C-alpha cells in the first residue's frame, strides 16, 4: 500500500509503534506529538490521511480535525480514541472524520480501516477527475455541435467561465460570438449580475463613449439629464463588446484606462466612478494586422487577448450542418404551428454542399424560410433560396464541366474576350466591365492575342 499519513499522538511509544507498523506496510509516515505541530506540517505539505489521537495535551484531536478540514475540506481524518470516549469519536465522525479506532489498537483493525480510508480517497480523486473532464466536455446552452472544433470551443468556455480573465472571441459574422459571451457569463460567479452586449460598429463614434460610460447633464447638445452608461449598469457583471475592431483609436485609449484602473468617467464629468465588470470582446478582423496598420492599440489588444477563443465557420463543421438544420426545423415549425417531419434528402444534400458565407445565422434564416415555404411534410429543394442551389465553391460556379484532358488558360481567356467584345458590339469601353478589366487592360489583351473585329 502507498500513501502519506501524518500520525498525531502525545505518547511517544504509541507514535513509534504506529510508525513501525505503517512503514512496514509501505505507507510514508510522519509523526508529531501535538495538534499545533500537526497544523504546521499540514501548512508545509499535503498528507493523504491524518491519523490523530482524540485526547491530547494542548490542542485536542477534535480541534485539530476541525482546523484541518477548514483548511482542506477533502482531508481524510481517522480518530484514535481510548475506551470510554467512543461518544466523542462518533461526534467527530458527524463533524467529518472518516472513521475511528478504539485503543488499544489491534494491528488488523488499523490496517483494515486504513485500507478502506485509502479506497475512499482514491474514489474521491477519481470523481474529481471525472467531474473536471465532464465539465470540460459539457455542451454550452444554445450552442449545438459535435464536430471536434466546436467541442474544443465548449471545453475552453467551460474551463475559463469561472475565472475573471478577459476573453477575445474571433469568428466570422454569424458564427455565434454573442452566444459564446453569454455562455461564459452564465458559467461564471457573475451569472446573477447583468450582462450587456453592445455592437461597436453600430454606434457612431460621437456617441459610443456616452453609451459605454454615461454622461452628465449638459455635457453635449441634447444631454438633458445625467445618464449612466453600460459599464455602470453592468457593475458586478459582464460587458460584451462586439466588433471591437471597429472602435476608433481615441475610444480605445479610454477603454484601456477603464480596464486598467477599474473606473470610468462620465462624459462631461469630473468624478471617477469605480466599476467592476468582466470584458468579453469579439471581432471578425485580424487585430494583429490592424495593429500594424495603426488602427488598433497594441496595449489594448494584450489586455483583451488574455484568453482567445476561435469560432470555426460553419463550412468547417461537417455534420453539424445537419444537426443545426434539424434543430431550426423543430424551432420554426413549432413556432409557426406547421407539423413538419424534417428535411428531404435532396434538400439536405444541397445544405451540406453549400459553403455558408453567413454561417449559422444564414442557415437559421434559410431554414425559417423553408419551413414557411414548404407545402409538404418535408423541406424540399424548391423550398430553399436560389443561392443554395448554386454551390458556394468557385469550382461549382464554372458554367462547364472541367474536361479530363485539361484546358489552355490562354485559349479560354481569348475566347472569353472575343465573346465579351461580340456581346458589346466590339466597343472596348462596353466590353471591359463585362470582363472586370479597365479600358487599357482590355486594349492590351486585344493587341496581345491579335484579336480584331471580324
pLDDT tens, position by position, 403-419? 667 778 888 888 899 99
Burial bucket for residue 247 (CB in 10 Å: 0-12, 13-18, 19+): buried
pLDDT at 444: 84
- How far is CA 393 from each of CA 287, 387, 388, 444, rounded to the nearest angstrom? 27, 11, 11, 31
Q: Which of 4, 58, 57, 55 lies closest to 31 in space, CA to CA?
A: 4
Question: What's the mean pLDDT in 74-92?
Answer: 84
Pairing of strands 272-274, 263-265: antiparallel
Which of 161-165, 331-335, 392-396, 433-437 is predicted with the least confidence, judged by mean pLDDT? 392-396
Confidence at residue 84, expressed as pLDDT on a 0 to 100 scale: 66
| pLDDT tens-place string over residues 33-69 | 999 999 999 988 889 999 999 988 889 999 999 999 9
Q: Give the chain's mean pLDDT.
A: 88
The mean pLDDT value for 165-182 works out to 94
Q: What is the DSSP string of 259-289?
A: HHHTEEE-BT--SEEE---EEEEEESS-HHH
On whether the CB atoms of residues 297 and 259 are closer than 8 A, the answer is: no
Residue 136 confidence class, pLDDT cut points 50, 70, 90? very low
Q: Are 110 and 101 in contact (CB under 8 A)?
A: yes
Q: Is the pLDDT of residue 137 over 50?
A: no
Question: 282-292 pLDDT, tens per residue?
Answer: 999 899 999 99
Amino acid at each position: 500500500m502507498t500513501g502519506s499519513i501524518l500520525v498525531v499522538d502525545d505518547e511517544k511509544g504509541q507514535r513509534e509503534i504506529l510508525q513501525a507498523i505503517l512503514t512496514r506496510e509501505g505507507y510514508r509516515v510522519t509523526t508529531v506529538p501535538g495538534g499545533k505541530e500537526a497544523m504546521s506540517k499540514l501548512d508545509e505539505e499535503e498528507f493523504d490521511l491524518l491519523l490523530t489521537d482524540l485526547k491530547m495535551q494542548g490542542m485536542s484531536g477534535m480541534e485539530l480535525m476541525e482546523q484541518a478540514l477548514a483548511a482542506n475540506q477533502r482531508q481524510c481524518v481517522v480518530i484514535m480514541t481510548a475506551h470510554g470516549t467512543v461518544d466523542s469519536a462518533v461526534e467527530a465522525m458527524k463533524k467529518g472524520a472518516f472513521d475511528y479506532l478504539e485503543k488499544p489498537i489491534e494491528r488488523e483493525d488499523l490496517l483494515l480501516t486504513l485500507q478502506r480510508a485509502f479506497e475512499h480517497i482514491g474514489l474521491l480523486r477519481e470523481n474529481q477527475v471525472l467531474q473536471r473532464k465532464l465539465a470540460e466536455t459539457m455542451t454550452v446552452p444554445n450552442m449545438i455541435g459535435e464536430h471536434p472544433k466546436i467541442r474544443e470551443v465548449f471545453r475552453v468556455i467551460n474551463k475559463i467561465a469561472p475565472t475573471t480573465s478577459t476573453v477575445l472571441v474571433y469568428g466570422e459574422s454569424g458564427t455565434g460570438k454573442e452566444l459564446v459571451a453569454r455562455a461564459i457569463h452564465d458559467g461564471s460567479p457573475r451569472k446573477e449580475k447583468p450582462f450587456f452586449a453592445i455592437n461597436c460598429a453600430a454606434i457612431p463614434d460621437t456617441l459610443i463613449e456616452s453609451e459605454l460610460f454615461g454622461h452628465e447633464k449638459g455635457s453635449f447638445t441634447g444631454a438633458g439629464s445625467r445618464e449612466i452608461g453600460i459599464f455602470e449598469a453592468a457593475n458586478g457583471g459582464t460587458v460584451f463588446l462586439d466588433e471591437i475592431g471597429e472602435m476608433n483609436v481615441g475610444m480605445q485609449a479610454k477603454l484601456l484606462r477603464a480596464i486598467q484602473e477599474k473606473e470610468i468617467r462620465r462624459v462631461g464629468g469630473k468624478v471617477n466612478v469605480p466599476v467592476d465588470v468582466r470584458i468579453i470582446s469579439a471581432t471578425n478582423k485580424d487585430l494583429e494586422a490592424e495593429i500594424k496598420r495603426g488602427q488598433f492599440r497594441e496595449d489594448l489588444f494584450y489586455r483583451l487577448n488574455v484568453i482567445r477563443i476561435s469560432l470555426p465557420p460553419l463550412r468547417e463543421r461537417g455534420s453539424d450542418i445537419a444537426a443545426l438544420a434539424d434543430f431550426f426545423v423543430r424551432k420554426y415549425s413549432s413556432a409557426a404551428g406547421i407539423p413538419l417531419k424534417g428535411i428531404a434528402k435532396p434538400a439536405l444534400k444541397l445544405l451540406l454542399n453549400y459553403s455558408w458565407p453567413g454561417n449559422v445565422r444564414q442557415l437559421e434564416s434559410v431554414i425559417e424560410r423553408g419551413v414557411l415555404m414548404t407545402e409538404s411534410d418535408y423541406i424540399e429543394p424548391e423550398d430553399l433560396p436560389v443561392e443554395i442551389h448554386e454551390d458556394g465553391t468557385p469550382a461549382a460556379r464554372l458554367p462547364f464541366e472541367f474536361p479530363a484532358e485539361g484546358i489552355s488558360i490562354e485559349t479560354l481567356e481569348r475566347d472569353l474576350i472575343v465573346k465579351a467584345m461580340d456581346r458589346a458590339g466590339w466597343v472596348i469601353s462596353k466590353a471591359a466591365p463585362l470582363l472586370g478589366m479597365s479600358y487599357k487592360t482590355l486594349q492590351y489583351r486585344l493587341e496581345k492575342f491579335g484579336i480584331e473585329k471580324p
